[in-house]
Structure 1
Amino acid sequence: MKKIAQLLAAGLSLAVLAGTASAQVVGKTEDQIRWRQSAYTTMGWSMARIKANVEGTYNKDQVIEASNVIQAIANSKLGALFQPGSDKGKGWEDTRLKSEFFTDKETLGKVAGTFGKEANEMAKVAATGDAAAVKAQFGKLGEACKGCHDNFKKKL
């Protein structure tokens, strides 16, 4: 399972090769939307794995694996897949990105910075094996995710 998580994290990092908005644009808009949807689906699965561990029988190795995947995605320069105009269109499904993503740079910087910080901290805390500390940090990470959802993701 550890190898699968490492390969998945490496694959996601390769899929989002580009850096910030100044990086070379890779792929068509539909591809960019699909790639970022895939990354967020993988992150959601990893969050669910951590949640299952903090609410049920705790398995340190599973939490470390899931935390490392989240950290890899958070540090993968995923922002390069948010090119102007990618708030419209379809990847695997219609994008739910709000157009405010491109205009509210102050909020975007704050929520992106918080998410990166909390994802990195989640990996550090997971490595300790302290279930109580993991649960507390998982709450902070969830709040960081919510910050972006609340500001930049359309509700269904």
Structure 2
Amino acid sequence: MYRMIRTATVGLLALGLAGTATAAELKPEEQIQYRQAGYAFMAWNMGKIKANLDGNYSQPQVQAAAETIRAIANSGMGALYGPGTDQNIGDVKTRVKPSMFTEREEVGRLAMNFINAANELAEVAALGDEAEVKSAFGAVGKSCKACHDQFRAD
């Protein structure tokens, strides 16, 4: 639990600092930490949507979480996959497979699928139809899984 809170906090800080530093100015280990924090924060928001779909549905909560996911998806996190970020650096570990750095066309295709699904989720969440949110949420999950299956080591 502590690790999740710490990671979410780092994620918020990372997203805040992203406006003041470009990925090229960051050390490879910082790029890994920032992208992991962004994904952790996104996962937390996915969990909030899932909890709403499994329990008492709150349209404002779902919309806020979906907007956060859309913002992260469109933030340009691909720039945090710079040279040297394909491997562990000291105590900073990464699960990205080296193929992510060589199969650029496939990575781009999967990234666009994810961005499109995140945008659709936010649009549907704003309208409030729970069934449509559930469907769009599933599409986001599938887009995440597609990338994990190909480019994330176990």
Shared fold (TM-score greater than 0.5)?
yes
User: Alpha carbon RMSD of aligned pairs, Å?
Assistant: 2.4
Within the alignment, does 1:137 sit opposite 2:139 as a pair?
no
- TM-fit CA distance, 1:17: 4.2
| Aligned counterpart, 1:5 | none
Structure with higher helix content = 2
Runs of 5+ unmatched residues, structure 1: 1-8
Residue 49 and residue 104 in structure 1: after superposition, are their counterparts in 2 closer, same or farther (change >3 A)?
A: same
CA contact (8 A) 1:118 1:140 kept: yes
Paired amino acid for 1:16: A
Q: Secondary structure at the match of 2:24?
A: coil
Residue 58 and residue 121 in structure 1: after superposition, are their counterparts in 2 closer, same or farther (change >3 A)?
A: same
CA distance in 1, matches of 2:61, 2:85: 34
| Aligned counterpart, 1:40 | 39
CA distance in 1, matches of 2:103, 2:142: 19
CA distance in 1, matches of 2:97, 2:90: 15
- What TM-score comes out, normalization by structure 2 length? 0.85
- TM-fit CA distance, 1:92: 7.5
- What TM-score comes out, normalization by structure 1 length? 0.84
CA distance in 1, matches of 2:91, 2:72: 19
Identity of aligned residues (%): 43
- TM-fit CA distance, 1:10: 8.3
Q: Secondary structure at the match of 1:63?
A: helix
- TM-fit CA distance, 1:14: 4.2
Structure 1 segments, 4+ long, off by >4 Å, are 9-14, 90-93
* Larger RCO, structure (CA 8 Å, separation 6 or more): 1
Within the alignment, does 1:49 sit opposite 2:48 as a pair?
yes
